Amino acid sequence: AQSVTQLGSHVSVSEGALVLLRCNYSSSVPPYLFWYVQYPNQGLQLLLKYTTGATLVKGINGFEAEFKKSETSFHLTKPSAHMSDAAEYFCAVSDTGSARQLTFGSGTQLTVLP
């Protein structure tokens, strides 16, 4: 079974600072990895995804993530945080069964300080 661990349930950064949200996965087969963002009172929105190919994945709103197989990680970064980035971020992995569904991490709440 696939699993995802997000390190740090709460992360605070200053506006303009680097954002780094950590995600480690467990998988016995090549995983498909995703980052989703959830703004207050809204559903989840896809930020970016890794399936195959280039290990550095660029997403929306200036976010990117790098798939590192040797570290079983898929950390999310953004060079300069903006106030509008404050939200909850979820890392997710899909399984490789015939019916695919996402397994989500527990989420990281990002706070951006002025």
Partner 1 sequence: DSGVTQTPKHLITATGQRVTLRCSPRSGDLSVYWYQQSLDQGLQFLIQYYNGEERAKGNILERFSAQQFPDLHSELNLSSLELGDSALYFCASSERGSSYNSPLHFGNGTRLTVT
Residues that bind partner 1 (CB under 8 A): 32, 34, 36, 41-46, 49, 51, 90, 94, 97, 99-107
Amino acid at residue number 94? S
Using an 8 Å Cβ cutoff, are 67 and 33 in contact? yes
End-to-end CA distance of the chain, in Å?
A: 41
Of residues 18 and 46, the one with the C-beta less far from partner 1? 46
Closest CB to partner 1 among residues 11, 81:
11
* Alpha carbons within 13 A on the beta-carbon side of 100: 8
CB of 12 to partner 1, least distance (A): 20
Instruction: With H, G, I as helix, E, B as strand and everything else as coil, classify residue 34.
Output: strand
User: Considering the complex, what minimum distance in angstroms separates the CB of residue 21 from partner 1?
Assistant: 16
Cα separation of 58 and 30, whole Å? 19
CB 15, min distance to partner 1, A: 27
Residues 95, 38, 23, CA angle at the centre, nearest 5°? Answer: 50
Shortest distance, position 80 Cβ to partner 1, whole Å: 26
Choose between 73 and 108: whose C-beta lies nearer to partner 1.
108
